[in-house]
Structure formats: C-alpha cells, structure tokens
Amino acid sequence: MSENDKLKKRAAEILKRLEKEYPAAKCHLEFRNPFELLVSTILSAQCTDARVNMIMTPLYENKYKSPDDILADGLENFRENIKSCNFFNNKAKSVLAICNILKKDYNGKVPDSLEELTKLPGIGRKSANVILGNCFGKKDVIIVDTHFKRVTGRLGLTDNDEPEKIEADLKKLIPPAKQYVFSHVIGDHGRYVCGARKPKCGVCVLNDVCPSDSLKK
C-alpha cells in the first residue's frame, strides 16, 4: 500500500469516528442568509464567533438586512456598532467596501463562486469556502481555519503550514462529497478536545490513530 493510500485510509477512519462524535457539527457563526454570513465571516478574523454573534445577531434582526442598509447607515455608525470586535476599524472599512461592490456589481447579492468571492476585499479562500459550503450547498470545500490547521497537522494528514497547501493536501485524501463535513467535524474536535495548549488525548476518540497522541510519549 502506497503512503498516500495509507493516509486516505487513516483519513477515512478519522472522518468516520468524528462524524459519529459530532453529528451536529456546523458553522458556529449565526446567520440567515449569505449576506449575513459574509459580513460575520469578515468580523470573525482574530475574534471569536461568540463575540461576533453577540454583536451582529441583533443588528441583522433590527437594522442591517442588506448591503443598502449598511451603506445608508454609513461607516461611522457601522464602526461604532461593531467597536467591541477586534480590529473593528479596518473590518468596518472592508465591510463597507464589500457592500459597495455587491450593490454595484452583483445587484446586492453575494456571488456563489470561489473566483468571484475572493475578488471581494477581505475575503480569502477560507472565508469563501465557509460561504460556499454553508450557503450554497457546496460539498467539495475544505475550510482551513486555525483549528483545522492544528488538528490535521497533529493527525499527520499534512505537514504544510500554508492554508492553500493544507487545503490541497486534504483534497487529495477526502472525497469531494465529504470535504465540507470533514471541515466541520475537525473544527469541532479542535474546539472541544484537541485544544491548542492542552489537548485532551486521554478522552480523544482518535488517540489510537494519532501520531501525536501525548499518551504514547
């Protein structure tokens, strides 16, 4: 068996176990449509999803239902409303710029392709894949966030540090129809068990297939 085949077999076992462990795995940002997720994804950079939800959920409900609403409110008001978010000044500018582009070029709608999404200021491949997977039903997306990068590295599924290379590595191991699900269950495992500082290897359902299991050291 080739090394790649061994990795595919391990990845399949990991996915099987984590799907059972996290059957309700999903995006932790609260949203009702692509526009809300697009804005929240921008705000979530270096900020917790919980904080973004606390800020934006009432604003989406009562104030910001479309790009026009944010543009009408203006940069100063929008910035004031999100000031408890890390780097709120730059993020406010990015959101306003995106709202202008959506209004001008997309009739106020969020585009549904990786190529178009990554043209928007502040939207990289990770953010685009979040939107494509959660709002447009794309299954063949790998979402490389900090949890995904850490956990897949510890599991020996990639030895790369760059998000695009990690994405490419995992696309070779996970079937297209399962890539979106894999991203979420890996993310939840990173949140709840495989933490950055103190991974809970003693209770981990993957400790017998993980080359980084601290119990073996």
What are the two backbone dihedrals, phi and then psi, of residue 169, each rounded to the nearest 5 degrees? -60, -45
From the list 126, 138, 169, 188, the catalytic residue is: 126
64-72: long-range pairs with CB below 8 Å, 24+? 64/39, 66/35, 66/108, 67/35, 67/98, 67/99, 67/100, 67/102, 67/103, 67/108, 68/99, 68/103, 68/108, 70/39, 70/95, 70/96, 70/99, 71/96, 71/99, 71/100, 71/103
From the list 69, 112, 145, 213, the catalytic residue is: 145
Find where tokens 């447009």 sit: 136
Instruction: Quote the CA–CA distance of 9 and 37 in Å, as a whole number.
Output: 34
The DSSP code sequence of 43-99 is HTTTS-HHHHHHHHHHHHHHT-SSHHHHHHH-HHHHHHHTTTSTTHHHHHHHHHHHH
Find where tokens 């997720």 sit: 37
CB 134 within 8 A of CB 27: yes
Instruction: Quote the CA–CA distance of 177 and 159 in Å, as a whole number.
Output: 24
Q: Is 9 a catalytic residue?
A: no
Q: Is 126 a catalytic residue?
A: yes
Residues annotated as catalytic (active site), given as ranges: 126, 145
